[in-house]
């Protein structure tokens, strides 16, 4: 069974631009969560999508948004990029909504490294 796939692996953008990252979950998984990882702030939860609806949201500005398609694939968009948005963005998939079941486990992709110049 294929794992979580994130594309692209690397991105270079300039301030003010926008970017879209893609995540394909493990087949059969319906929940997709996004995390931002930086050296200073560590791993921070961005949001979770389940059945095409955002279910949970972390403490990030509205420039960070996402969506989920009927096949559970998810995209994350960051508008008006800032230097501080440079990070590794990780996507995780799970069978059900995170923290709704004791048996729910998140599986992570390799991430997309975004550099904002």
Partner 1 sequence: AQSVTQPDIHITVSEGASLELRCNYSYGATPYLFWYVQSPGQGLQLLLKYFSGDTLVQGIKGFEAEFKRSQSSFNLRKPSVHWSDAAEYFCAVGHYGQNFVFGPGTRLSVLP
- Examine residue 42 and tell whether it contacts partner 1 (CB under 8 A): yes
**Cβ–Cβ < 8 Å for 117, 14:** yes
The correct pick among 72, 76, 111, 116 for binding partner 1 (CB under 8 A) is 111
Nearest distance, CB of residue 3 and partner 1, angstroms: 9
CB of 82 to partner 1, least distance (A): 23
Positions 9 through 28 that interact with partner 1 (CB under 8 A): none
Q: b/e for 76-104, b at 16 or more Cβ within 10 A?
A: bebeebeeebbbebbbbbbbebbeeeeee
- According to DSSP, residue 2 is labeled -
Closest approach of partner 1 to the CB of residue 108, in Å: 4
DSSP letter at 106 equals -
Q: Which of residues 50-109 bind partner 1 (CB under 8 A)?
A: 56, 58, 90, 92, 98-100, 102-103, 105-109
């Amino acid at each position: 069974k294929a794992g979580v796939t994130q594309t692209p692996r690397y991105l270079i953008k300039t301030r003010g631009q926008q970017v879209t990252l893609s995540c394909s979950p493990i087949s059969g998984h319906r929940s997709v969560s996004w995390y931002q990882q930086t050296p200073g702030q560590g791993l921070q939860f961005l949001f979770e999508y389940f059945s095409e609806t955002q279910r949970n949201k972390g403490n990030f500005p509205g420039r960070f948004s996402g969506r989920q398609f009927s096949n559970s694939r998810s995209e994350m968009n960051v508008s008006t990029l800032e230097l501080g948005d440079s990070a590794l963005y990780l996507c995780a998939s799970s069978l059900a909504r995170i923290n709704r079941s004791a048996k729910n486990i998140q599986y992570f992709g390799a991430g997309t490294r975004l550099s904002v110049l």
